[in-house]
Structure 1
Amino acid sequence: MDPAQENAPTPAPAPAPAPKTNWADEADLADLGALGISDGAESKAEEATPVKPKPEKLNDEVETKIEKELVEGNSLYTSAKTFEELKISEPLLRGIYSEMKFERPSKIQAETLPLIMNPPHRNLVAQAHNGSGKTTCFVLGMLSRVNTSLHEPQALCVCPTRELALQNQAVLERMARFTQITSTCIIPPTENIKSSLRGHIHDQVIFGTPGSLERAILNDRNLDVQHLNVLVFDEADHMLDQNGFRDFSMKLLRRINKQAPSCQLLLFSATFSEKVKNFVSKSIPIANRVFVEKLELSLDVIKQYRVNCPTERAKFEVLKDRIYPIAEKLGQSIIFAESRRSVTELHEKLEADGHKCSSIHGGYKPDVRDKIIDEFRQGITRILISTDVLSRGFDVAQVTLVVNFDLPLARDYHKQPDYETYLHRIGRSGRFGRKGAAFNLVVTQEDTRMLTLIEEHFGKTIPPVAWDDDEAFEKVLKEAGLA
């Protein structure tokens, strides 16, 4: 660890060691034919933190154009205008209406739930906006396939980060409140969350992160997958990306195909890069597909701005002297930096300047990460500095402002921006139909080129804001409906 990290203002967290990939020999894994899945490549990534979501208004109004490719055509499926049309059990309906406060299915729910819940239970690849109700789709799908008299795992949701696993489990617990269905979360243990891996696991719905699930299934052998009816990959683009968890995902699929060949596979994400789309098409050819057009994913409810700074020092001054005072008046804000070291250094500088904030990255211990996230969710801290560990699946309704202190770069080619991560980052604001804004701080010609590529990719102009003009910042936030 860098010396700077050890002197971080947060409680001196130590980096958690990355789990080793130690799956069974390939010879022990079956062919993927029964699931309609082909072979894939290898890679790794890191795990992260917990969240407990609140039911909110969905981003239905921005979700306008949906593309569907159905294996059997449209003859078997029709969109669901009400939850009753899906023949959901009475206890689950009570959870949907009284706990989740839903009135009707959102557009993505209306299109995908019939595909998930009705025979022949085909695999599904689905993409839709942040805040559109994707989590409800697969959570309701998992719950609807559970046989309550069988006390064995029947649905498994794999998440790239610990916070997303805990968040999804919290949604399921609310929705399943009036049922007898049990669930557990298999993630790296903390002082407060003891290991889920003691003895045979009998919970019917399982959430977990790759490293912990690997140990439970392969090493400890106390998570039996032979009764699985549904397997979900949340943030599936990352789970199937070469720079993400593709190796783990494909090996897990092979194992489940061997032990539960009729298991339904559900892939959900707000984004799918063309590379991942092509991989999915080749690897999972027999699947229904539901996509929102790329231009519809530009999140028009979030106003985006570029701030051209003459120097790196000016970049920090813009943050502390102009953006920070504004952020303290708004709801909550997230500042994204490119590395753990950058996050730590930025936190130290802001604290030294008298600004209260918190920071998080994948090197912090689970207990520390949990505490930081809980304080941010409770509003104890209002400004959070983070790496991309929180760019996906982190739902805090009061986040109205995102700052890209550093633009996201593609992992495999740093001369290109990471378009999907950019979309995920700014999508942390403007959740559930609320208004939001994003400031992109640029200094070098390379920064300018990167942001121009982002504009071209999404077909949106990102207007400039003068870096040294306080009134200009106030003006654009009024335009965004935030001031």
Structure 2
Amino acid sequence: MAATAADSATSTISAADTTTHLADLKHDAVEEPSSSSKSEEKIASEIEIGNLTINESNNKFFHDPESSNIKTITSGDTPYASAFTFEELNLLPELLKGLYVEMKYEKPSKIQAISLPMILNPPYLDLIAQAHNGSGKTACFTLGMLSRIDPKLKAPQAFCICPTRELAIQNLEVLRKMGKYSGITSECAIRAGFGNEIHTGKKQTVRPPITSQIVIGTPGTIRHRIRANKLSLSYLKILVLDEADHMLAEDGFKDDSVHIINKIRCVNPQCQVLFFSATFNETVKEFAAKIVKGNHNQLFVKKEELSLQSVKQYKVNCPDELAKVMVIKDRILEFGERVGQTIIFVRTRNSAITLHRILVEIGYDVTTIQGALKQEDRDKIVKEFKDGLTQVLISTDLLARGFDQDQVNLVINYDLPVKHNHPTEPDCEVYMHRIGRAGRFGRKGAVFNLLCSDADETIMTKIENHFGTEIAEVPDWRNEEDFVVALRSAGLL
């Protein structure tokens, strides 16, 4: 991963060269981010569904802290009982097989146990749902969409709209895996470069209307396809907004999202709307409640309980930008191959490019993703990282939300996240999403926040106050043993 000692003379750049690069790391624009026990009859170590045998030893567990309290607000007269097994949801055998064989699930997580009965049972009320990163939210709405499809009707019946193409592609992969045995058709509606986009040399052909039963895409593309009469709303049963807080935020995709929802309501007023995210600030929460139908259900977690228990957070005080690079090079990435993959978050595209250049010149094999890259390059970088071909990924907040990679155990906040229009104020929601990239599904993880100014310390303090937690400090940025202790405490060494 790093250059060897023998290579250090040629691979290590000078402090002067590094300082030249570091000048580019400042003053550029911020990039916006374009379960319970089984029933007694199934308590044996194997479960049988027809001729299907499942060994539970390989099943997946979610990060599902039992101490977390999910506040539930229900409307109407329908009583909802939590589902402690997937069998209690009356799912088709093909979907159960997908859950157990393909997804390796054992039982519903807490958010799944509570939300799935609300999603799957009449009168199919709208839902606003918030839960921890890695708690199984994606499986909630994916299973909800698959369960509502009429296999005989060859028309769009479910939409899932995501803020980025990377998240849309990832959600489609999960859906196809979970629905492998169902025969349900699906498609990704994003800009050219993935899935069913059609190319002929230099010129794109006119796309035919979408007939897939489930469509997952980005808001701009979905809106365009609807406007072009290439995406019918007539048979739509369920609409999902993933990372809904960003989809409904003023600085996110609010206009597109509201337009799509209003269009659907005009054509199909009974369509069920589901909003899912790990974070909802009060402004977005109030706005979301106005968009959904009068009778709707809500699930929320107190912000004090959102900080992931399986992920250890640290702050590192550095005297300057050069020291931050040295911490990454000499104190953190040296352990990278032993503890898993690493994502380094920066604030701007220029910062991503500059930090990438510095680390490559030092001798590290890193890749970088940011919004200015070509779509096919972004897809390639994500695939290589997910396939384990690269170990270190530098990213803007493009991948802060919803990006699932089990092997990511380290997150480095080279820059702390701040509000786009208020750079002195932390973006606590983005911080929560960033640290949620480490320690997915209950795995151990560590987050290092690199600070090098009074402004950084003020922002860090505000983040601590927001979540009601105190983040441990690494005593000395120059002392390797302090980082060893931190990683051991996180369960990574």
TM-score (norm 1): 0.87
Alignment-derived partner of residue 65 in structure 1 = 69
1:404 to 413, 426, 440: 413
Corresponding residue to 1:268 among 270, 276, 279: 276
The answer as to 2:154 corresponding to 1:155 is no
Aligned pair 1:211/2:220, yes or no?
A: yes
Give the deviation of 1:57 after TM superposition: 2.2
Percent identity between the aligned chains?
Answer: 48
Kept in 1, the 8 Å contact 2:187–2:195? The answer is no
Any conservation in 2 of the 1:62–1:300 contact (CA below 8 Å)? no
Does structure 2 conserve the Cα–Cα contact (< 8 Å) formed by 1:405 and 1:440? Answer: yes
Question: Is 1:109 matched with 2:109?
Answer: no
Please give the alpha-carbon distance, in whole angstroms, between the structure 2 residues aligned to 1:327 and 1:211. Answer: 37
Q: Is the 8 A contact 1:154 1:230 kept in 2?
A: yes
Q: What's 1:93 paired with?
A: 96
Counterpart of 1:202 (choices 186, 200, 211) is 211
Tell me which amino acid in the other structure corresponds to 1:449.
Answer: T
Task: Give the match for residue 5 of structure 2.
Answer: none
User: Quick one: which amino acid aligns to residue 336 of structure 1?
Assistant: F
Structure 1 residues 55 and 383: alpha-carbon distance in aligned structure 2, compared to 1, 3 A threshold: farther
Provide, for residues 220-264 of structure 1, a one-character-per-residue CA deviation record: whole Å limited to 9, x for no partner. 321111110000000000001111001111110110011111100
State how far apart, in whole Å, the 2-side matches of 1:179 and 1:281 are.
Answer: 33
Residues 81-105 of structure 1 show CA distances to partners (whole Å, capped at 9, x for unaligned) of 1112111112111211222122211
Q: Which amino acid aligns with 1:473?
A: F
Which residue of the partner structure matches residue 413 of structure 1?
422
Deviation at 1:329, TM superposition (A): 2.8
2:278 is aligned with what amino acid? A
Aligned to 1:254: 262
| 2:229 counterpart residue number | 221
Give the stretch that moved more between structures: 396-405 or 306-315: 306-315
* Structure 1 counterpart of 2:18: none
Give 1:475's aligned residue. 485
Residue 192 of structure 1 deviates from its aligned partner by: 7.4
Corresponding residue for residue 301 of structure 1: 310
Q: Distance in 1 between matches of 2:337 and 2:458?
A: 31
Corresponding residue SS for 1:130: coil
The equivalent residue for 2:125 is 122
Three-state SS of the structure 2 residue aligned to 1:412 is coil
Q: Does the 8 Å contact 1:301/1:434 carry over to 2?
A: yes
Q: 1:12: which partner in 2?
A: none
Which letter does structure 2 place at the counterpart of 1:92?
A: L
Residue equivalent to 2:359: 350
SS of 1:261 mapped into structure 2: coil
The answer to whether the 8 Å contact 2:75/2:295 transfers is yes
Q: How far off its partner does 1:63 sit?
A: 5.9
Inter-CA distance 243–195: structure 2 relative to 1 (3 Å threshold): farther
Shift of 1:62: 5.2
Which of 189, 192, 205 pairs up with 2:192?
189
Cα distance in 2, alignment partners of residues 145 and 172 from structure 1: 13
Maintained 8 Å contact 1:186/1:195: no
Q: Say if 2:155 and 2:235, in contact at 8 Å, map to a contact too.
A: yes
**Which runs of no fewer than 5 residues in structure 2 stay unpaired?**
1-20, 22-30, 35-57, 200-205
**Shift of residue 476 of structure 1?**
0.9
Provide the C-alpha distance between the structure 2 equivalents of 1:473 and 1:441, rounded to a whole number of angstroms.
13
Mind listing any 5+ residue stretches in structure 1 that lack a counterpart? 1-7, 9-43, 48-53
Do the aligned partners of residues 46 and 451 (structure 1) sit closer, same or farther apart at CA in structure 2, a change above 3 Å counting? closer
- Counterpart of 1:70, as a letter, is T
Matched, 1:78 2:81: yes
- Following superposition, the deviation at residue 281 of structure 1 comes to 2.7
List aligned pairs for 1:131-146, cutoff 5 A: 131-146=134-149
Q: Distance in 1 between matches of 2:488 and 2:278?
A: 28
SS state at 1:125 partner: strand
Q: 1:130 deviation in Å?
A: 1.2
Q: C-alpha distance in 2, partners of 1:389/1:191?
A: 18
| Structure 2 CA distance for partners of 1:255 and 1:192, relative to 1, 3 Å | closer
Deviations, residues 354-398 of structure 1 (Å, cap 9, x unaligned): 111110001111111111111111111100000000001110100
Deviates more, 1:279-288 or 1:298-307: 279-288
Partner of 2:250: 242
CA contact (8 A) 1:243 1:412 kept: no
Measured after TM superposition, the shift of residue 332 of structure 1 is 0.2
AA at the equivalent of 1:119: P
Considering only aligned residues, what root-mean-square deviation do their CA atoms show, in Å?
1.9
Instruction: Return the letter of the residue paired with 1:420.
Output: E
Bigger radius of gyration = 2
State the one-letter code of the partner of 1:224.
Answer: S
SS where residue 289 of structure 1 aligns?
strand
Q: TM-score, normalised to structure 2's length?
A: 0.85
Superposed displacement of residue 194, structure 1: 2.8
